[in-house]
Amino acid sequence: MTRADMQALPAPRRIGGLTALAGVIGWPVAHSRSPLMHNFWLAQYGIDGAYVPLPVRPGAFDVAVRGLQAAGFHGTNVTIPHKEAAFRIVDRLDRSARRSGSVNTLVFAPDGAIEGYSTDGDGFVANVEAHGIAVTGGRALLLGAGGAARAIAASLLDRGVAVTIANRTAARAHELADAMRADAEAGAMVDVAPWDGLGTVLPGCDMLVNTTSVGMHGGPPGDLPIDLALATPALVVCDIVYVPRQTALLRTAAARGLRCVDGLGMLIHQARLGFRKWFGTDPVIGAEVEALLDADLRGEGS
């Protein structure tokens, strides 16, 4: 390679002893778009930082987290299957994490404590509001009872939205409802509907939220037991799945003229708190990062 060729190459990124480090822990984790998003923001704001995928096998989570903390990381995101383990390891739980019963964001505080946050619920609400839809009052039908459902239910209740929970395994729906009612603010605003009887519930709802993996690429086969012909014209249909962006549920809703909200915006909005805590900057949610992620999801990204 000639000197001219070398000068034409882009300058290599410098990672040094003062580079702020964070990442995402999961198993598997190669599919995560969080590194693409966070590193875009780091470059956009000229921050000396790096965000990396951290594949950690089940059973090794505690050792990995302590090692990352000792190595000077500022914190991590946590994804499947480690959210419950993250809940157990933290020293200080934010209210968002206490209410949702799970943690998706760890912050390694200067005093040595591990702080735990759940940003899924507020990220969901921020995404809906970014579509010009007010999240206040009314009733939401929530499909699923996992960690994301818990976080979303808590954030909806905080905004005065009554929540009806439906899950294929009824016991988990009742468990989630009881957990939400344990917070004094919730009270009678939470109830449970049978998975095979959603047709009687949907007409009274202003929002439908799918938090299950039905419709996700590589997810379980089959359809959700919901007939959108029974919905009111004002129903807002939300799906937290973002691969693909347009799930079968959203395609059906759009065909009926209902307002739709896909899951990509939730991924972006829920990331803000961690980025702010780790890197000291609150990123602006702009069209550029959504376009970057969308292109990557379509196989057009680098």
Cβ distance 48 to 18 under 8 Å?
A: yes
Q: At residue 74, what is the residue type?
A: H
Distances (CA, A) of 62 to 74, 86, 245, 255, 266: 16, 8, 33, 47, 27
Cβ distance 143 to 212 under 8 Å?
A: yes
- pLDDT at site 130: 95
- pLDDT at site 221: 74
- Token pair of 148 as six digits: 């994301």
- pLDDT at site 302: 39
C-alpha count within 13 angstroms, C-beta hemisphere, residue 77: 27
**Measured between alpha carbons, how far is 75 from 68 in angstroms, rounded to an integer?**
8
CATH says 3-118+271-297 is which class? alpha beta
- pLDDT at site 185: 58
Distances (CA, A) of 91 to 58, 64, 69, 130, 214: 21, 16, 13, 33, 34
> Within 10 Å of residue 265's Cβ, how many Cβ atoms?
24
Cβ distance 59 to 82 under 8 Å?
A: no
- pLDDT at site 96: 86
How long a stretch of residues is the chain? 302
Q: Could you say which of 38, 82, 83, 272 is catalytic?
A: 83
103 contact partners, CB below 8 Å, separation of at least 6: 78, 83, 86, 87, 90, 93, 97, 116, 117, 118
Q: pTM of the predicted model, to two decimals?
A: 0.87
Q: Is 277 a catalytic residue?
A: no
Name which of 189, 132, 191 is nearest 161 in CA terms: 189
> Within 10 Å of residue 297's Cβ, how many Cβ atoms?
16
CATH 3.40.50.720 boundaries in the chain: 121-265
Tokens 């957990």 belong to 179
Name which of 49, 97, 94 is nearest 74 in CA terms: 49
What is the CATH number assigned to the segment(s) 121-265?
3.40.50.720
Query: Judging by DSSP bridges, how do beta strands 236-239 and 207-210 pair with one another?
Result: parallel
Q: At residue 192, what is the residue type?
A: V
**Measured between alpha carbons, how far is 230 from 265 in angstroms, rounded to an integer?**
27
- pLDDT at site 51: 98
pLDDT in tens, the chain (302 residues): 555 554 455 556 778 889 999 999 999 898 889 999 999 999 999 999 999 999 999 999 999 999 999 999 999 999 888 988 999 999 999 988 988 888 999 999 999 999 999 999 999 999 999 999 999 999 999 999 988 899 999 999 999 999 999 999 999 999 999 989 887 555 669 999 999 999 999 999 999 999 998 888 777 777 899 999 999 999 999 999 988 899 999 999 999 999 999 999 999 999 999 999 999 999 999 899 999 999 998 885 43
- pLDDT at site 6: 41
**Measured between alpha carbons, how far is 159 from 133 in angstroms, rounded to an integer?**
13
CATH 3.40.50.10860 boundaries in the chain: 3-118+271-297
N- to C-terminal Cα separation, the chain: 24
**Measured between alpha carbons, how far is 154 from 238 in angstroms, rounded to an integer?**
16
**Measured between alpha carbons, how far is 152 from 42 in angstroms, rounded to an integer?**
28
**Measured between alpha carbons, how far is 95 from 7 in angstroms, rounded to an integer?**
52
